[in-house]
Structures are given as C-alpha cells and as structure tokens.
C-alpha cells in the first residue's frame, strides 16, 4: 500500500525520500510548501503537530491500521522497523544506529541549520557573530564524522543504515553551509559512495517542490 509523504525540498524532507527509495516502498509525495506557510494548514498539523515537514501516513501501519508519523528521526526508525531494512536485527548493532541517528537529530541538522540562517542575514555584525559560533561548531561536527568514517565504512559500522540516510540529508547541503568536503576526506569518501547509489539518486531527484 502506498505511503503518503508530506515533505518539501529540504535536508529533513530528503532524508525520507531517499529512505523510501532505498527501501523500495511505494509512496506518493504531497508537497508542503513551507515558504508559503502550508505547514500551518490544520489538515497538516493533524499529522505533524509541530508544523514541520516531513511527515508520513502509512495506510498499513501496525495491526494493519493507518498511522501517521512526524519527526524525521521517528519516521526513519518507523520505516526501518517496518521493513527490517537499514535497521539491524541485532540489539548491539541497533545501538550504533541509534547513536548516530541521535547525533544527527540533535546536532548535525540544528547546527548547520543555524549557519543557513545567519549566512542569509543583511546585518553584518549579527551575521559575523552567528557564523563564528555556528560555523565553528558545524566544522567540529564534520571532524567528529570524519573520525568515525576513518574507522568504519558507514556511521553504524560495516553496514549502511538509516543513520546514513539521516546524515546524508544534511551533508547534501555542505555547499550552503560552506564546508569543503576535501577538508574531511573520510566524509568525502562516504558522501561520494552514498551519492553513487541508484536509490539515493532517485531519492534526491524526486520532485519535492511544485513547478
Ligand atoms: N526535528 C524535525 C525538524 C523538521 C524541520 O525543521 N523542518 C523544517 C524544514 S527542514 C520545516 O518544516 N520548517 C517549517 C517551519 O518551521 O515552519 C525533523 O527532523 O523532522
């Protein structure tokens, strides 16, 4: 049965389109244009109470009943558990996936997101302060990822997982937060390998904007 994906063309939206493509799940896109305030539509808030994309509705949820899920990390976990794909069966291996998924949700997303905000400001002193603070922290997070990927092929170890889908959504925006991946060679190696996957290419190509 077709999953309804409510999303826009942003890192958090792309995490879910790539996961759905990689998992081979049938889905239909409903564009929620956050530049036009569509995230405040009462019908959308019913499935995403924090008025943010992404959200999904799965007509065939647990017990065969429909379910909606908001928060991209929760959606990735839901889809991983539903399909048993990109989510290991082994409890110890699950911990590594959870660690790197939470690393992304709590840090490598909110922090580069602040860079995206401050970089667009007109006021020079506001921009300088914000960028100094959040650029440094963004680069520190890239260094953490680089160390991890110097030891393992993927974030959770030898196998690709939903944690990689979470992180690639934000790494995809490295030009916007002005990070040169050549400074983080292990991240660059991983990013190129991720982007070479056909499922990933489909997930980034699916239209998440109108027109
Ligand atoms: N923690 C949330 C963050 C989602 C989020 O920030 N979505 C942004 C686009 S990337 C959004 O919908 N913004 C609209 C708004 O804040 O009104 C998640 O990971 O799903």
- Residues 6 or more apart whose CB falls under 8 angstroms from that of 27 comprise 2, 3, 4, 5, 20, 56
| pLDDT confidence tier of residue 209, bands split at 50, 70 and 90 | very high
The pLDDT tens digits for 123-144 are 999 899 999 999 999 999 999 9
Task: Quote the pLDDT of residue 142.
Answer: 98
Segment 90-112 mean pLDDT: 98
Residue 211 above 90 pLDDT? no
Best substitution site from 33, 52, 209 to test ligand 1's pocket, by max atoms within 8 Å of Cβ? 52
Q: How far is the CA of 53 from the centre of ligand 1 (A)?
A: 5
Task: Quote the pLDDT of residue 95.
Answer: 98
Q: How far is the CA of 12 from the centre of ligand 1 (A)?
A: 7
3-state helix, strand, coil in the chain (%, to 5): 60, 10, 30
Q: Which is nearest to 76 in space by CA: 172, 159, 166?
A: 166
The pLDDT tens digits for 42-65 are 999 999 999 999 999 999 999 999
DSSP helix/strand/coil, 152: coil
Cα gap 93→181, rounded to integer Å: 28
The owner of tokens 């050549």 is: 182
Is the whole-model pTM more than 0.95?
yes
Cβ 48 under 6 angstroms from ligand 1 = no
């Amino acid at each position: 049965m077709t999953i309804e994906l409510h999303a826009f063309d942003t890192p958090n939206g792309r995490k879910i389109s790539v996961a759905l493509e990689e998992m081979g799940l049938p889905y239909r896109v409903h564009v929620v244009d956050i530049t036009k305030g569509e995230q405040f539509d009462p019908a959308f808030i019913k499935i995403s109470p924090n008025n943010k994309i992404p959200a999904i509705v799965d007509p065939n949820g647990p017990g065969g009943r429909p379910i909606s899920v908001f928060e991209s990390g929760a959606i990735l976990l839901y889809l991983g558990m539903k399909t048993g794909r990109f989510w290991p069966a082994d409890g110890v291996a699950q911990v590594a996936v959870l660690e790197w998924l939470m690393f992304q949700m709590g840090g490598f997303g909110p922090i580069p997101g602040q860079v995206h905000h401050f970089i667009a400001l007109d006021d020079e002193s506001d921009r300088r302060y914000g960028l100094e603070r959040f650029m440094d922290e963004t680069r520190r997070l890239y260094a953490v990822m680089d160390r991890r990927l110097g030891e393992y092929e993927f974030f959770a170890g030898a196998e690709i997982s939903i944690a990689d889908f979470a992180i690639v959504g934000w790494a995809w925006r490295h030009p916007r937060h002005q990070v040169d991946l050549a400074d983080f060679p292990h991240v660059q190696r991983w990013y190129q390998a991720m982007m070479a996957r056909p499922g990933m290419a489909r997930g980034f190509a699916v239209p998440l904007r109108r027109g």
